Structure 1
Amino acid sequence: MGQLLFLETMSQVDSPSLCPKNINFPQLWSELKPDVLKVISLEPISHKHWQYMFSDVYSICIAIPESLSDPLYRAVRACIDEHVQRLYKVISNVPRENLLKEYYNMWNTFYAGSLYLNDLFRYLNKQHVSNKLNVDAENLHQYSMFLPANDVKEIGCLALEIWKERLVTPILNSLVELLLKIIYDDRLGNPPECKNVISGVIHSFVQIERNDFSAQDGKREQTRMVRENSMEFYQKEFETMFLSATETFYAALAQKLLSEMTCSEYMEQVLHLLEQEEYRSQCYVHGTTMKKVAELCQKVMVDAHKDKLHAVCHDLITNEDKKDLHNMYRLLKPLPSGLSVMVKEFEEYVKKRGHEAIACLQYDNIPQQFVDNILTVYEKFNEMKTVVFMDDGEFVSGLDKALQTVVNARDPNGGVPKASERLSRYTDFLLRRTGKGLTDPELEKRLSNAIIIFKYIEDKDMFQKYYSKMLANRLIGGLSISMDYEESMINKLKQACGYEFTSKLSRMYTDVGLSQELSESFAKHLTEEKIAIPVQMTPMILQAGSWPLSPVSGNRATSTGGSFVAFNLPRVLQPCIQEFEKFYVQKHTGRKLTWLYNMSHGKNINIQELYICGDIRLNYLDKSYTITMSIHQMAILFCFEDKDTVMMNEIAEAVGLTGELLVKTMKTITEYQVPLLTSEGDINAANCPVSLNLSMTNKRLKFRLPGPQMSKATEKETEAVANTVAQDRKYYMECAIVRIMKTRKVMKHNALVTEVMEQTKSRFLPDVQFIKKNSEDLIEKLYIQRTDQNDEYQFLA
């Protein structure tokens, strides 16, 4: 009955006065006692009679000349005690086989009755019990020894306390024995007929310790879940023995199963038993016991025999037995460090398969094979990690470590790992316009797969060098399959490594767009100024700090115009260069242009008669051929404007190229499948004559001459990239150390090493010696110094 009932009661009784009055307690109690017994026995009581009872309790508590709360409390205690003793006499004569059911029925009645009784005596609880319990904290030490905490209780709690002492304690051993016997039979496959009786009896051990019957939010407490403030009785009198019986049962069963079953069968059976026991715990015991039961079963059936599971783990992983591995994972997962052996075996197996995959690479198209083989291993074991090991963090880490080891493995012959170079060449193959016939979804998927491998590469800065060089070649030569895909790949790299990693790549991409705008602006300028140039020019202005390009012999550096160095530009192109330089300087003062003729090519240049031309167009043969070629090749062909035969020394003087570059460039023209020029001797000789191939014929009217292949170009490129990366790493490391020391001022060596590794891991993984060497260099440069403390550095402002 809530507070609303109390107000209703006071407004509907025949004597609604709330004023204190004289009370004949013995007489009033003699009338009230039978009703109290009816309430606790759940016998029917009319609503009006309930209100009279409520009013009588109130009148007793506020009686004059003094409150009769204390006599009322003692009388209620005695009444409940007598009632419980009568119940005990009844249940003590019940046959053993009916004891649980009879106790369960008695308890349900008594517990519900105690809730109503607590409601009936709510004012007594508030006026008498609470006043005694809420003692002034400052004075508690003066008389706490005379007023034990259990001296008074709310009526509901008092009833449960009497029930525990007078009825439960005498029959407790019999109750617990019966409960354990029934649960034991259930585990053997003989479940009880009335599971609710077993659960109700067990939960009564928790409910009898309830010590708070106050209503919440105006709702009757019996409609809410029980709040347990103490589990001592339940844990001491039932849970301890229940857990002990559980341990004994499953320890013996585990030994029996192991002697009769294979490891695979044992794991399946244990999982089945664990599921059954979990369901049984949900049906019978309190929620706080469920976790203890699960841990106990894991302990005696799994942890005690985990060595036997570990012994077969290697074979299961090697055979890729997904079902048994999943069962083993489920069993070992709850144990502390239970998965460590499985993770180690999984990691080692992935390494083994990964090394086998890259060991069988054929010489033909190694980058493609490398990526495909690594992806095959990744996809296979990533699926196993997801399906078998449920994407567990330990196995995710194990897979990553294994693949990182495989991807960054060094060649058997030594040298730096090849992953960065191979992956960059693979992406170059995808993004280059080579007519692979891939659909957009296929290309997008392959680029995403490349990022998967990229994340495992340790030397990401080396990949950056290779990728930037190949990106430059694609952008300058117009060889990209799509500028949208170039941007997409750069964005994927940015997501993997951050803005700093791709800042130069993004700038390269941007420069191409800006160059197109500049070219259009230049063409408009020529039109407006009515300036005629012999060849249409499409300049590309590239920011020197972003592009992996450097001037070589045969290039021209100028700001407002200058002289040619080594390479002599064909006359037909000189007016174009001069006009563009004038235009550019007017728009951007103070900038320096360095012309990279070795990376330029001619396209659709028309020269009259014998004039060999560009894209270049040859008009002196029976057909008009259009050939795309480099500026160097074009310059050589321009030597034959007015001659059919020219000596090699004359070509060298006219063009300005010498040595290997001249010879290799000449061979691209003379040794092409349909040669444009023919030599009558060794072109390495200065007096070797070279003539036009006037009988040249080709089925294709438009084709491209290949560029010169310099000797050991790949080896030199790899060596150059390695040297550049080594220098870049030194600068990056020094900057990181200075940045950290500037912030921290003073640091121990080990702390500095840890933080430096954290900051540089997105680009490369430095070793401790490399960090130490750079720290020593910074000490010599007076950026930092050692302190008097051992292994400690101090920043110098």
Structure 2
Amino acid sequence: MYYSAKAKELLSKVTISEYLREAELLCGQEQKRCEERLHRTTVTQVRQTCCRVLVDDHAEQICEDAESFLINNQQEDLHRLFSLFSELSKESALMSFKVNILKRYIERSGLEVVRKFEQEDATKNPEGYIEALMQVRNKYFELIKDAFGFHPLMRTALDQACRVFANSHPRLPELLAKYTHFLMSRDKKGHSSSRGGIGLPRSPTSLPPGLLDDTLEKKIENISIVFCLIDDKDVFKKYYSKFLARRLIKGISASDEMEILLIQKLRDICGYDFVSNLQKMLKDKMLSKFNNAKELTRTVISELTNFPEQDCSHHLANLVKVKVLTSDGDTANPTYGLNFGFTNRKVRISAIPNSPVETPKAIKVPTREVEEDRRMSLQAAIVRVLKTRRDIHQAQLMRDVAGILANQFVPSTTAIKQNIEILIQKEYLRRHEDDQTRFLYVA
């Protein structure tokens, strides 16, 4: 009764910041008296009771003012509030602060950044947009570290809020891929395109030892953090693979080490299958340095490169024209060989036809291609779940499938149901005779 009356008196006279200091002081004094006069087993219970009366019973009123602590960056008050809430036997007050105050405030802060760049067309400044998102995320990451000691609930609030505002821009996967391309490319003079002290001379293929400095690694780490927030990771992969191919073909990659480091981070997040094609692209680039065959027919070259024979013929003709290769003149299936006597006064020659001017359409990810990949992934996930469980309710099946595909994209309920029906037609599964919401695996 005493502390209940004391709490009402204090709340009517002082600010919430001052009230939390008084509550912390009163709890400390009560604990000290218990330690002097009572058995140690009762000390914790008495302190929790004191916190419940002073804090939990007035949690709603306290939380109403807590947002001002975030606005004014009052970390000491936030830490005190968090410490008192953490002492309660139930996490209801802490959950209320997490959901109603912290998460919503971070969401609003991030959405303000998104709206600003939507007005300015973020596609023209992807690096500015991604770095602005990271500034918001890093600001509250430091707050949670300093004020809340990385408590799991607070860290979850940060992750959920960042995911909401990051994915509110419909073109986030494309913007992140463009930012990555900007960071990973070097200009015609051999300098990195990236800013912030990274614009040092680059060799065409790799960085000198030690040049992969902390600043550059931090930027790559930021890419992986934003990638974790993306719902449609498969769309990012489509854009990223196209930009990676462009860098490798044109020889404008700032560093092999940078490319490998980022792909390793993507693999750590999504697994080997997600990056297998990307790793193969880098491997093919490295293997191309060690070709030993002196002569090959056009058909063999087409098979080895997996290019259409017509395209091979077109490009090989250009190499013969500049005398890098020789040809036996056979019109049906000519044999090409290296011209070991080739010389040219130019340091660099061009034997590749001029590429057409690139437009946004040229790098547009085919929607049909993404949809087909998603359809196959959905069906594979559904079959995997059914094969494991044999008998499963529809709601559980949809949750399990969404969990399996979470690292690639967020499947819609409609898409899962459509693919369930397709698999029923293919006789991979069937509905239960007595319960149409249950599915059985067909061996």
TM-score scaled to structure 2, two decimals? 0.82
For residues 307 and 542 of structure 1, do their structure 2 counterparts lie closer, same or farther at Cα, with a shift above 3 Å needed? farther
For residues 267 and 628 of structure 1, do their structure 2 counterparts lie closer, same or farther at Cα, with a shift above 3 Å needed? farther
For residues 448 and 543 of structure 1, do their structure 2 counterparts lie closer, same or farther at Cα, with a shift above 3 Å needed? farther
**Within 5 Å, which residues of 2 pair with 1:327-476?**
327-335=80-88, 336=90, 337-344=92-99, 345-361=101-117, 362-363=120-121, 365-410=124-169, 417-434=170-187, 435-436=191-192, 437=199, 440-441=212-213, 442-476=215-249
Q: Report what 1:255 is aligned to.
A: 8
Q: Deviations over 1:454-475 (max 9, x none)?
A: 1111111111111111111222
Does the CA contact (< 8 Å) of 1:516 and 1:540 recur in 2? no
* 1:628 CA drift (Å): 5.0
Letter in 1 for 2:171: K
Please tell me whether residue 733 in structure 1 is matched to residue 378 in structure 2.
yes
Partner-residue secondary structure (3-state), 1:788? coil
* 1:418 CA drift (Å): 1.1
Alignment RMSD, CA only? 3.0
Q: Report what 1:499 is aligned to.
A: 272
Task: State the alpha-carbon separation in 2 of the partners of residues 401 and 499 from structure 1.
Answer: 26
* 1:762 CA drift (Å): 1.1
Please tell me whether residue 576 in structure 1 is matched to residue 332 in structure 2.
no
Please tell me whether residue 764 in structure 1 is matched to residue 412 in structure 2.
no
Task: State the alpha-carbon separation in 2 of the partners of residues 627 and 764 from structure 1.
Answer: 44
Q: Report what 2:251 is aligned to.
A: 478
Q: Report what 2:360 is aligned to.
A: 714
Does the CA contact (< 8 Å) of 1:746 and 1:795 recur in 2? yes
Q: Report what 1:199 is aligned to.
A: none
Does the CA contact (< 8 Å) of 1:784 and 1:793 recur in 2? yes
Partner-residue secondary structure (3-state), 1:747? strand
Q: Report what 1:324 is aligned to.
A: 77
Task: State the alpha-carbon separation in 2 of the partners of residues 267 and 494 from structure 1.
Answer: 46
**Within 5 Å, which residues of 2 pair with 1:221-300?**
248-300=1-53
**Within 5 Å, which residues of 2 pair with 1:670-685?**
none
Larger-Rg structure:
1
Partner-residue secondary structure (3-state), 2:148? coil
* 1:446 CA drift (Å): 0.7
Task: State the alpha-carbon separation in 2 of the partners of residues 767 and 796 from structure 1.
Answer: 25
Letter in 2 for 1:734: Q
For residues 432 and 251 of structure 1, do their structure 2 counterparts lie closer, same or farther at Cα, with a shift above 3 Å needed? same
For residues 716 and 509 of structure 1, do their structure 2 counterparts lie closer, same or farther at Cα, with a shift above 3 Å needed? closer
Does the CA contact (< 8 Å) of 2:114 and 2:168 recur in 1? no
For residues 371 and 543 of structure 1, do their structure 2 counterparts lie closer, same or farther at Cα, with a shift above 3 Å needed? farther
Partner-residue secondary structure (3-state), 1:455? helix
Q: Report what 2:208 is aligned to.
A: none
Q: Report what 1:216 is aligned to.
A: none
Please tell me whether residue 555 in structure 1 is matched to residue 311 in structure 2.
yes
Does the CA contact (< 8 Å) of 1:511 and 1:541 recur in 2? no
* 1:570 CA drift (Å): 6.2
Partner-residue secondary structure (3-state), 2:325? helix
For residues 418 and 321 of structure 1, do their structure 2 counterparts lie closer, same or farther at Cα, with a shift above 3 Å needed? same
Letter in 2 for 1:631: I
Task: State the alpha-carbon separation in 1 of the partners of residues 439 and 225 from structure 2.
Answer: 39
Residue 778 (structure 1) aligned to one of 395, 411, 423? 423
* 1:751 CA drift (Å): 1.7
Letter in 1 for 2:95: S
Letter in 1 for 2:11: L
Letter in 2 for 1:796: V
For residues 332 and 752 of structure 1, do their structure 2 counterparts lie closer, same or farther at Cα, with a shift above 3 Å needed? same
Q: Deviations over 1:87-132 (max 9, x none)?
A: xxxxxxxxxxxxxxxxxxxxxxxxxxxxxxxxxxxxxxxxxxxxxx
Task: State the alpha-carbon separation in 2 of the partners of residues 448 and 541 from structure 1.
Answer: 38
Q: How many residues align?
A: 402
Task: State the alpha-carbon separation in 1 of the partners of residues 430 and 324 from structure 2.
Answer: 59
For residues 284 and 726 of structure 1, do their structure 2 counterparts lie closer, same or farther at Cα, with a shift above 3 Å needed? same
**Within 5 Å, which residues of 2 pair with 1:76-155?**
none
Q: Deviations over 1:685-736 (max 9, x none)?
A: xxxxxxxxxxxxxxxxxxxxxx3215xx31353242x322111000111111
Task: State the alpha-carbon separation in 2 of the partners of residues 303 and 397 from structure 1.
Answer: 22
Letter in 2 for 1:516: K
Q: Deviations over 1:464-504 (max 9, x none)?
A: 11111111122222221111221111111111222121111
For residues 630 and 769 of structure 1, do their structure 2 counterparts lie closer, same or farther at Cα, with a shift above 3 Å needed? farther
Residue 369 (structure 2) aligned to one of 704, 724, 727? 724
Letter in 1 for 2:105: Y
Q: Deviations over 1:55-86 (max 9, x none)?
A: xxxxxxxxxxxxxxxxxxxxxxxxxxxxxxxx
Q: Deviations over 1:377-426 (max 9, x none)?
A: 0110111111112211111111111111111113xxxxxx2111111111
Q: Deviations over 1:22-76 (max 9, x none)?
A: xxxxxxxxxxxxxxxxxxxxxxxxxxxxxxxxxxxxxxxxxxxxxxxxxxxxxxx
* 1:796 CA drift (Å): 2.2
Please tell me whether residue 792 in structure 1 is matched to residue 438 in structure 2.
yes
For residues 483 and 540 of structure 1, do their structure 2 counterparts lie closer, same or farther at Cα, with a shift above 3 Å needed? farther
For residues 408 and 785 of structure 1, do their structure 2 counterparts lie closer, same or farther at Cα, with a shift above 3 Å needed? same
Task: State the alpha-carbon separation in 1 of the partners of residues 109 and 326 from structure 2.
Answer: 57
Task: State the alpha-carbon separation in 1 of the partners of residues 175 and 14 from structure 2.
Answer: 50
Task: State the alpha-carbon separation in 2 of the partners of residues 279 and 542 from structure 1.
Answer: 80
For residues 476 and 259 of structure 1, do their structure 2 counterparts lie closer, same or farther at Cα, with a shift above 3 Å needed? same
Q: Deviations over 1:248-269 (max 9, x none)?
A: 3323332332333222111111
* 1:551 CA drift (Å): 5.2
Greater RCO, CA 8 A, separation 6+: 2
Does the CA contact (< 8 Å) of 1:325 and 1:388 recur in 2? yes
Runs of 4+ in 1 over 6 A off after TM superposition: 539-543
Does the CA contact (< 8 Å) of 2:163 and 2:230 recur in 1? yes
Partner-residue secondary structure (3-state), 2:411? coil
Q: Report what 1:58 is aligned to.
A: none
For residues 511 and 540 of structure 1, do their structure 2 counterparts lie closer, same or farther at Cα, with a shift above 3 Å needed? farther
Task: State the alpha-carbon separation in 1 of the partners of residues 387 and 287 from structure 2.
Answer: 39
Letter in 2 for 1:772: K
Does the CA contact (< 8 Å) of 1:512 and 1:540 recur in 2? no
Task: State the alpha-carbon separation in 2 of the partners of residues 290 and 571 from structure 1.
Answer: 90
Task: State the alpha-carbon separation in 2 of the partners of residues 463 and 444 from structure 1.
Answer: 20
Does the CA contact (< 8 Å) of 1:511 and 1:543 recur in 2? no
TM-score scaled to structure 1, two decimals? 0.47
For residues 555 and 314 of structure 1, do their structure 2 counterparts lie closer, same or farther at Cα, with a shift above 3 Å needed? same
Task: State the alpha-carbon separation in 2 of the partners of residues 543 and 482 from structure 1.
Answer: 24
Task: State the alpha-carbon separation in 2 of the partners of residues 330 and 551 from structure 1.
Answer: 67
Letter in 2 for 1:334: E
Q: Report what 1:512 is aligned to.
A: 285
Q: Deviations over 1:623-672 (max 9, x none)?
A: xx766546224xxxxxxxxxxxxxxxxxxxxxxxxxxxxxxxxxxxxxxx
Q: Report what 1:490 is aligned to.
A: 263
Partner-residue secondary structure (3-state), 2:353? helix
For residues 566 and 730 of structure 1, do their structure 2 counterparts lie closer, same or farther at Cα, with a shift above 3 Å needed? same
Please tell me whether residue 306 in structure 1 is matched to residue 59 in structure 2.
yes
* 1:745 CA drift (Å): 2.4
Q: Deviations over 1:258-294 (max 9, x none)?
A: 3332221111111112122223322321121112101
Q: Report what 2:397 is aligned to.
A: 752
Task: State the alpha-carbon separation in 2 of the partners of residues 323 and 794 from structure 1.
Answer: 56
Letter in 1 for 2:55: V
For residues 733 and 316 of structure 1, do their structure 2 counterparts lie closer, same or farther at Cα, with a shift above 3 Å needed? same
Residue 632 (structure 1) aligned to one of 328, 348, 353? 353
Partner-residue secondary structure (3-state), 2:392? strand
Does the CA contact (< 8 Å) of 2:302 and 2:308 recur in 1? no
